[in-house]
Structure 1
Amino acid sequence: MVISVHAFPWDVLGDDGFVDRFAQTGADAVTLAVSYHSTRAATPLHPTRRFVDARHAALYRPVREQAWAVRRLVPQAPDWTGTDDAAGEAATALRAAGIAVNAWIVLAHDTRLGLLHPDLTVLNCFGERYPYALCPAQAEVREHCVTLAGEALRDLPVDGVSLESCGQMGVAHIGCHEKTDGAYSPLVQRLLSICCCTACAASWAARGLDPEQVVAALRDAVRAETPLPEQTASALLAARHDATADMLAEVLAEVRRHAPDAPVTLHGHPDPWAVGPSPGLAPKVLPLVDRVLVPCWPTDPATAGLVSALAERVIVDAYVTVLPPTSPDRLSEHVARLREAGATRLSLYHLGLASAAFQPLLAALTKEFRS
Structure 2
Amino acid sequence: MQYGMWAYPWDLVDEGSESVADDLLEMGIDRLYLAANYHTVEAFCPHNPVTKTVFADAGAYFQPQHDYGEIAPVPPSTMGEDDWVATVVDDLEDSALEVNAWVVGCHNSVLGTEHEEYAITTPFGDPLAFGLCPSQPAVRDYLTRLLTEVTGRFSFGDVLLETFHYFHGSGWGWHHDKFHADIGDLGEFLLGLCFCDECRERAAADGVDVDAAQSTCQETIVRLAEGELGSEGSPSKWVADHPTVDAYASVREGTLEEFYQELNETVDADLGSFIGMLGVDTSWMHGMNLERLREHVDFFTVMSYREEAADAVEAYETAAARTDPTPVRAGVLPGHPLIHDGDSVEAHVAELKAAGPDEITFYNYGLLPERNLDWIGKAIAALED
Q: Which residue of 2 aligns with 1:11?
A: 11
CA distance in 2, matches of 1:304, 1:96: 35
- Measured after TM superposition, the shift of residue 331 of structure 1 is 3.1
Q: Which residue of 2 aligns with 1:197?
A: 196
Aligned letter for 1:297?
Y
CA deviation map 1:23-70 (0-9, x unaligned)? 23211111001111111123332332222221x212122222x512xx
Residue 23 (structure 1) aligned with residue 61 (structure 2)? no
Q: Normalization by structure 2: what TM-score? A: 0.85
CA distance in 2, matches of 1:117, 1:150: 21
Residue 247 (structure 1) aligned with residue 253 (structure 2)? no
Residue 271 (structure 1) aligned with residue 296 (structure 2)? no
Q: Which residue of 2 aligns with 1:61?
A: 62
Please give the residue correspondences for 1:81-96 in structure 2 after superposition, counting only pairs within 5 Å. 81-96=79-94
Identify unmatched segments of 5+ residues in structure 1. none
Q: Which residue of 1 aligns with 2:213?
A: 214
Counterparts in 2 of 1:210 and 1:194: CA distance versus 1, 3 Å = same
Residue 302 (structure 1) aligned with residue 314 (structure 2)? no
CA deviation map 1:223-268 (0-9, x unaligned)? 2457243532442232111222222222233321xx4xxx322112
Aligned letter for 1:163?
L
1:319–1:348 CA contact under 8 A, matched in 2: yes
Alignment identity in percent? 24
2:30–2:98 CA contact under 8 A, matched in 1: yes
Aligned letter for 2:363?
Y
Identify unmatched segments of 5+ residues in structure 2. 224-228
Counterparts in 2 of 1:159 and 1:309: CA distance versus 1, 3 Å = same
1:291–1:316 CA contact under 8 A, matched in 2: yes
- Measured after TM superposition, the shift of residue 198 of structure 1 is 1.0
Q: Aligned Cα RMSD in Å? A: 2.4
CA distance in 2, matches of 1:184, 1:370: 47
Indicate the larger mover: 74-83 or 157-166. Answer: 74-83
Counterparts in 2 of 1:368 and 1:162: CA distance versus 1, 3 Å = farther
Aligned residues: 360
Runs of 4+ in 1 over 6 A off after TM superposition: none
Q: Which residue of 2 aligns with 1:322?
A: 334
Counterparts in 2 of 1:327 and 1:181: CA distance versus 1, 3 Å = farther
CA distance in 1, matches of 2:295, 2:77: 39
- Measured after TM superposition, the shift of residue 154 of structure 1 is 2.3
Counterparts in 2 of 1:357 and 1:180: CA distance versus 1, 3 Å = farther
Counterparts in 2 of 1:124 and 1:370: CA distance versus 1, 3 Å = farther
Q: Which residue of 1 aligns with 2:44?
A: 42
The DSSP-based 3-state class of the residue aligned with 1:311 is: helix
2:299–2:327 CA contact under 8 A, matched in 1: yes
The structure that is helix-richer by fraction is 2
CA distance in 2, matches of 1:25, 1:88: 25
Counterparts in 2 of 1:275 and 1:164: CA distance versus 1, 3 Å = farther
Please give the residue correspondences for 1:94-173 in structure 2 after superposition, counting only pairs within 5 Å. 94-173=92-171
- Measured after TM superposition, the shift of residue 132 of structure 1 is 0.8
Indicate the larger mover: 24-33 or 322-331. Answer: 322-331
2:213–2:248 CA contact under 8 A, matched in 1: no
